[in-house]
Amino acid sequence: MMTKICLVNDDGPKITGFMKLVEALSKEYELAIVVPDGQRSATSKSLSLNNPLRITKIQHANIEEFYNHSGTPADSALIADAMIDDIDIFVSGINPGANLGYQSIMTSGTLGAALEAAFLGYPALAVSEVVGSKEWFSGIENNRDYSKICEHVIQIINTIIAKGIPTGIDALNLNFPKVLKKDSFIVITRPTRIRMKNDIENRVDPNGNEYYWIRGEESEPTHGSDAFEVLVNGNISLSPMIIESVRDDNLEELKRFMEI
């Protein structure tokens, strides 16, 4: 029986990298697609608990189960689990914009969808790439060659299918540099803590009214981190995502804290 992959994202159905991955995967796997009907970046693992979900089936020549919806990226995993049978693995992305470091990981809709799938018991892989800031939320078409990126993604998918997700790991976070060189290779990395320095910029609209814009500037990547490997060394980072991250020593430290 052919492996069935459910593809999700936080950008909607028309993002270049996402559709290139769909095209590549459709040659080897059975696919189902469940995505928001538009841009839903930076929504983390939020769910539409107090809003109705509108779900539309999209006609596609090669994919029978292709849906978009009015909810969040994490809703995609719930919708797929409810509506689609025999899913073997979830793949979230390719996302235009790297998800490097816990700061980005905990904000990302791409990771939110993958982690929601992991909560449901599925193996899950999130895939992102470094792009220019104009591509982060705009869906601008690009002419990037995705063939090598897709080859690496397929390699990891095949490893997950053959071996399963490693014990104690809930999902995998894969990030590609902006330029994938011939000698770029996959490095197992620890996510950095903070990648961006965020602040709030005060601006004035044409009518003289103040408004505010959250803006971020890149921080210097920590040596050996996912951000360092991708942004400095130009390699591909693969990091484990672990939901149950509280250790026994954390509990003991809190007990000692509360004795004060």
Q: How far apart are CA 120 and CA 83, in angstroms?
A: 14
> pLDDT for 150-166, tens place per residue?
999 999 999 999 999 99
Query: Cα Rg for the chain, rounded, in angstroms?
Result: 19
pLDDT at 134: 72
Q: What is the CATH number of the domain that holds 46?
A: 3.40.1210.10
Within-domain flag for 48: yes
Q: Give the domain extent around 250.
A: 4-193+220-258
Strand partners, 125: 91, 172
Whether the pTM exceeds 0.85: the reply is yes
- Mean pLDDT check: name the lowest of 24-38, 57-71, 85-99, 125-139: 125-139
pLDDT band of residue 1 (cuts 50, 70, 90) is confident
Q: How far apart are CA 21 and CA 113, in angstroms?
A: 17
Question: Side-chain half-sphere of 108: how many Cα atoms within 13 Å?
Answer: 29
Cis peptide before 94 (omega within 30 of 0): yes
5: left (phi over 0), alpha (psi -120 to 50) or beta: beta
Within-domain flag for 138: yes
- Mean pLDDT check: name the lowest of 33-37, 130-134, 221-225: 130-134
Q: How far apart are CA 9 and CA 112, in angstroms?
A: 9
CB-based contacts of 82, cutoff 8 Å, min separation 6: none
Within-domain flag for 244: yes
Question: If you average pLDDT over every residue of the chain, what do you get?
Answer: 94
pLDDT at 135: 74
> pLDDT for 71-89, tens place per residue?
999 999 999 999 999 999 9
What is the distance, to the nearest Å, from the Cα of residue 96 to the centroid of all Cα atoms in its chain?
A: 9
How many domains is the chain built from? Answer: 1
Within-domain flag for 215: no
Q: How far apart are CA 229 and CA 221, in angstroms?
A: 9
* Cα dihedral 141, 144, 147, 148 sign: negative
User: To 10 degrees, what angle do helices 16-25 and 147-163 make?
Assistant: 50
> pLDDT for 211-258, tens place per residue?
998 887 778 889 999 999 999 999 999 999 999 999 999 999 999 999
Question: Side-chain half-sphere of 22: how many Cα atoms within 13 Å?
Answer: 25
Q: How far apart are CA 240 and CA 171, in angstroms?
A: 6
